[in-house]
Structure 1
Amino acid sequence: MPASSGPDLWVAGLFAAALSAVMMTAIVGVRYLITSGLFAWITGRVRPGLYKGLGGQIRREIGWSLLSAAIYGLPAGIAAWGWQARGWTRIYTDPAAWPLWWMPLSLLVYLALHDTWFYWTHRWMHRPRPFRIAHAVHHASRPPTAWAAMSFHPVEALTGAVVIPVLVFLVPIHAAMLGLVLTIMTVMGITNHMGWEIFPRRLVHSRIGHWLITASHHHRHHENYRCNYGLYFRFWDHLCGTDRGLSAP
């Protein structure tokens, strides 16, 4: 039986990459519905009535978020295919492949690089034209809810979707640490938009809290727009003079 030709292999690879993107889109979408739904349910129990009258806004948030899931799923699916089918990425599964101390350090490196990218692209999107074209969609959530974490215009979704897929081609990371990065990204994205502070007051107002972003910090951004641009850490906000402290969600 003749071996597969070059074009046939290329088409098979393209199909496999496309299938991976579709599957990743479904995973991101279902993850969003489950996690945002869970925190929305918690909000209803802890802060009953907080989302009262926001039904139309929440439906728009879900619609934009599911569109964002497709945009996030495309580069994520290609990266997953490149890892599993081609070995192109720096993701590894053998803990002995790199020193053990690199595992927690790689987590911090990914979060720091993601946070840096987010701060500067987010700040750029608050310039008049990018805000009007794209970022206004996210700020249409007044106040934001647990469903707003992925409520982005496609342009904004694309700026967020490429970060982790690009990093896995450049920076070595254990698969478990990558899973932890994605978990932190999901939880922080949702809890920062819930409209109330889920973390203990002692943490939020502690020395550690001075450097971490929680709902109390990010809610101030949704109130004032021109401050508090970070995602995980307040480092860039402190350094660039854009930190305006905490709100009281």
Structure 2
Amino acid sequence: MTWLAILLSMLAMTAIVALRYLAASGVFAMLTQRVRPGYHSRLGPQIRREIGWSLASAAIYGIPAGLVAWGWQEHGWTRIYTAWDSWPLWYLPLAPLLYLFAHDTWFYWTHRLMHRPRWFRSMHAVHHASRPPTAWAAMSFHPWEALTGAVVIPALVFIIPIHVAMLGLVLLVMTVMGVTNHMGWEMFPRALVHSKLGSWLITASHHQRHHEEYRCNYGLYFRFWDRVCGTDRGLSPNA
């Protein structure tokens, strides 16, 4: 019965990840069609490939997430907590920032590694086959690349305490930024993108340049590591 419960948890998480992807990417794909009619009208075959790879990635993300969710519910694994007073209230907003920065750090260095020729050909080329990327490309990864992303949050919940609601916020930010950064056009106001705050955040116009030039702008949420390592080449004029 234990193995059945674990399997069901994995299947449930896979379904949740897949539905979350379809809902988020679908909403922003419709927004793209409304704001820029015909922008991706000739990319039907590419979009179908993106959806196929992304649904495969959903299973790879769902398996470790389902195992951890089962362990948390049945045995108290992880440092996820539910009582608001388990940690000081000032820590509530700090925990998501720690998660996002840790995820961003992992993503930057693994992403940069995957741009080495051998790793690129065997793994990352799947993602860059989206030319230009669309809202459906957010999880369009080769299975090995998907695995590098799937382990991050399940690992962090064993290390960094976080309220379950704040964990939900992290997942929301992951989903929205993953989709909006691949739309090929900038949906956020120019006043934000070109502000001091915006100069440290990654949006579509920053990530679009990565898809155009490959050897730059490797970050996921923040431009910190790109700036520290000299790989930040600014915003794409085409987004």
TM surpasses 0.5? yes
List alignment gaps of at least 5 residues for structure 1: 1-11
In structure 2, the residue matched to 1:76 is 65
Q: Which runs of 4+ in 1 moved over 2 A?
A: none
Q: How does 1:1-249 map to 2 (within 5 A)?
A: 12-248=1-237, 249=239
Instruction: Give the Cα–Cα distance (whole angstroms) in 2 for the partners of residues 17 and 102 of structure 1.
Output: 31
Deviations 1:63-121 (A, max 9, x none): 00000000000011011111111101100000100111111010110000000000000
Per-residue deviation at 1:13? 2.0
Instruction: Give the Cα–Cα distance (whole angstroms) in 2 for the partners of residues 22 and 245 of structure 1.
Output: 40
Give, as a single letter, the amino acid of the residue that structure 1 aligns with 2:171: L
Instruction: Give the Cα–Cα distance (whole angstroms) in 2 for the partners of residues 97 and 58 of structure 1.
Output: 45
RMSD: 0.6
Per-residue deviation at 1:17? 1.2
Give, as a single letter, the amino acid of the residue that structure 2 aligns with 1:200: P
Identical residues among aligned pairs (%): 74
Give, as a single letter, the amino acid of the residue that structure 2 aligns with 1:112: F
Instruction: Give the Cα–Cα distance (whole angstroms) in 2 for the partners of residues 39 and 171 of structure 1.
Output: 31
1:96 alignment partner, SS class:
coil
Per-residue deviation at 1:229? 0.2
Per-residue deviation at 1:169? 1.1
Deviations 1:112-137 (A, max 9, x none): 00000000000000011110001000
Give, as a single letter, the amino acid of the residue that structure 1 aligns with 2:189: P
Instruction: Give the Cα–Cα distance (whole angstroms) in 2 for the partners of residues 179 and 68 of structure 1.
Output: 20
List alignment gaps of at least 5 residues for structure 2: none
Per-residue deviation at 1:18? 1.4
2:135 alignment partner, SS class:
coil
Give, as a single letter, the amino acid of the residue that structure 2 aligns with 1:128: P
Structure 1 or 2, whichever has the larger Rg, is 1
Instruction: Give the Cα–Cα distance (whole angstroms) in 2 for the partners of residues 171 and 82 of structure 1.
Output: 16
TM-score, normalised relative to structure 1: 0.95
Number of residue pairs the alignment of both structures matches: 238
